[in-house]
């Protein structure tokens, strides 16, 4: 089936083929017959982990994000490596690497495309339940420097208002948490 808004690829130039992203520049034919260019980022995908402690605090990590030139708070997350097909196992690994927690139950909440205007990156959002600190957790990635931060819902809302929480996956997790809180009332 052809969509009436479909853009047909005329040609593709590979700009960069990296370890994390694959960047291309496509020449496309628009629905009205004109031509345009699209710069696209292809990504294997990622997982994010929403976790709330028994004390009703969301587990976050603070890390420096070079693209923003600042540190932000976000839910634990990580990229899917080449050949990984069991995304729940990826979520379990990333949760332990980034927080030192192991979860007895990891459930898929949803998946979504993070920035469809330029990228195909799909993020799988999981909820960690019944988790505990482990004595010898998996090590963090060599180039990762993280601080674990646990915040109440109202504290996290304040961090959203100040922009310290500003990424889509964490805001999505916060909305999920808010919906769950309101559903319990």
pLDDT score, position 138: 77
Q: Supply the DSSP symbol for 123.
A: E
pLDDT at 46 over 80: yes
pLDDT 10s digits, 52-78: 999 999 999 999 999 999 999 999 999
Residue pointed to by tokens 């540190």: 71
| C-beta of residue 72 within 8 angstroms of C-beta of residue 166 | yes
Q: Domain spanning 46-184 has what CATH number?
A: 3.90.79.10
What does the pLDDT average to over 108-137?
Answer: 95
**pLDDT beyond 70 at 96:** yes
pLDDT at 169 (0 to 100):
96
Find the helix or strand (DSSP H, E) in which 169 lies. Answer: helix 168-184
Predicted local confidence at residue 2, as pLDDT: 60
């Amino acid at each position: 089936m052809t969509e009436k808004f479909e853009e047909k690829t005329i040609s593709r130039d590979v700009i960069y083929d990296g370890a994390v992203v694959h960047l291309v520049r496509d020449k496309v034919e628009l629905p009205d017959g004109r031509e345009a260019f699209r710069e696209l980022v292809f990504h294997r995908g990622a997982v994010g982990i929403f976790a709330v402690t028994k004390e009703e605090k969301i587990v976050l990590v603070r890390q420096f994000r070079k693209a923003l030139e600042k540190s932000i708070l976000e839910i634990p997350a990580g990229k899917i490596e080449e050949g990984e097909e069991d995304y729940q196992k990826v979520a379990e690994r990333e949760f332990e690497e980034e927080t030192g927690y192991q979860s007895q139950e990891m459930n898929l909440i949803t998946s979504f495309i993070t920035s469809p205007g330029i990228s195909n990156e799909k993020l799988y959002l999981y909820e960690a339940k019944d988790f505990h600190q482990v004595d010898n957790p998996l090590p963090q990635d060599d180039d990762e420097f993280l601080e674990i931060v646990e915040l109440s819902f109202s504290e996290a809302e304040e961090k959203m208002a100040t922009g310290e929480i500003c990424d889509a996956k964490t805001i999505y997790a916060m909305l999920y948490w808010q919906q769950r809180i309101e559903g319990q009332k």
